[in-house]
Amino acid sequence: MTAATGNAKAAGTAGTPVAVVTGASSGIGAATARGLAAAGYRVVLTARRKDRIETLAAELTGAGHQATAYALDVTDRPAVDTFAATLDRCDVLVNNAGGALGADPVATGDPADWRRMFEVNVIGTLHTTQALLPALTASGNGTVVVLTSTAGHATYEGGAGYVAAKHGEHVLAETLRLEIVGTPVRVIEIAPGMVKTDEFAMTRFRGDTEKAAKVYAGVSEPLTAEDVADTITWSVTRPPHVNIDLMLVRPRAQASNAKVHREL
Ligand code: 8X3
């Protein structure tokens, strides 16, 4: 059974269920949009970079899927509310937009980086979740996915700004699940460890290719965006009464944030 028939039937509503993915312009977000489209969802791709999501939406549509693009900065609350008002339904929200800036010790970290990370990872997720919760509830079987990180569950030297933001996002997910129990909405947290994408480390180190490459040096097989998208798509397509509360996903070569096997 595809997600489309499964969710639509369970919700008692006609039509194809809708999945909104934030940060869908690259990496895990783009791969998740592909995965959910293939699972039968009408995907709504959002990100700041309009050209990228439009290209991906066209690719998905060309492959016979249903996909649209909407340029959105999740930190802009009025824009998020305007976006929410354009949707005729919302069955799944994947809060993927986020990221790290810098890897400095607490003693010297830039407060502006910390603020920006909190803004995108925590407040961004808060904005989209608040704006879409009524539609998710009205769907009869809504799903909120929160993409945190293993950094939301342990800390490491140089990671405190990102770790603090991801802990905050984890707490948002945990608390929301407590608060909305009894409503037809489940909250799924996916917490990946080392994922090699084109942009995560490059953004963190502001385009310093050498520093970015060091993150993955000697690690034979870091996770790919597709690996994480696979766990998201699997979690979302479980029957509506099954809630995958939390999934920590790491490459085999990583035993903890700081314990990584490198063949150098
Ligand atoms: C990324 C995991 O270990 O680079 O979300 O902070 S880590």
Per the DSSP assignment, residues forming a β-bridge with 92 are 19, 143
| CA proximity to 171, closest of 153, 193, 194, 157 | 153
- What pLDDT shows up at residue 130? 98
pTM summary value:
0.94
- C-alpha span between 34 and 74 (Å, rounded): 21
Q: Examine residue 1 and state whether it is found in any structural domain, yes or no.
A: no
Exactly one of 41, 70, 156, 162 is catalytic; name it: 162
The answer to whether the CB of 135 falls within 8 A of the CB of 88 is no
Residue nearest to atom 3 of ligand 1 (CA): 257
Strand order, beta sheet including 142-147: 66-71, 42-47, 18-21, 92-95, 142-147, 185-192, 246-249
φ, ψ dihedrals at 190, nearest 5°: -115, 125
- Residue-wise pLDDT tens digits, 191-225: 999 999 999 999 999 999 999 999 999 999 999 99
Q: Is the dihedral of CA 263, 28, 31, 17 positive or negative?
A: positive
- What pLDDT shows up at residue 3? 47
Residue nearest to atom 2 of ligand 1 (CA): 193
Q: Examine residue 21 and state whether it is found in any structural domain, yes or no.
A: yes
What spacing in Å lies between the alpha carbon of 96 and ligand 1's midpoint? 14
Q: Examine residue 222 and state whether it is found in any structural domain, yes or no.
A: yes
For residues 111-120, one letter each, b for 16 or more C-beta atoms within 10 angstroms of the residue's C-beta and e for the rest, the string is eebbebbbeb
What token pair was written down for 142?
A: 């809504």
Range(s) of the domain holding residue 32: 8-260
What spacing in Å lies between the alpha carbon of 201 and ligand 1's midpoint? 9
* Low-confidence spans in the chain with pLDDT less than 70: 1-14
Relative to the CA of 159, which ligand 1 atom is closest?
Answer: 6
Q: How far is CA 233 from CA 3, 8, 92, 212, 226, in A?
A: 10, 17, 11, 28, 10
CATH code, 122:
3.40.50.720
Q: Examine residue 255 and state whether it is found in any structural domain, yes or no.
A: yes
Q: Ligand 1 pocket test: which of 120, 162, 196, 197 has the largest number of ligand atoms within 8 Å of its C-beta?
A: 162
- What pLDDT shows up at residue 10? 39
Q: Examine residue 110 and state whether it is found in any structural domain, yes or no.
A: yes
Q: Examine residue 3 and state whether it is found in any structural domain, yes or no.
A: no
Residue nearest to atom 4 of ligand 1 (CA): 194
- C-alpha span between 143 and 137 (Å, rounded): 9
Active-site residue, 162 included: yes
Q: Examine residue 189 and state whether it is found in any structural domain, yes or no.
A: yes
Quote the number of domains for the chain. 1
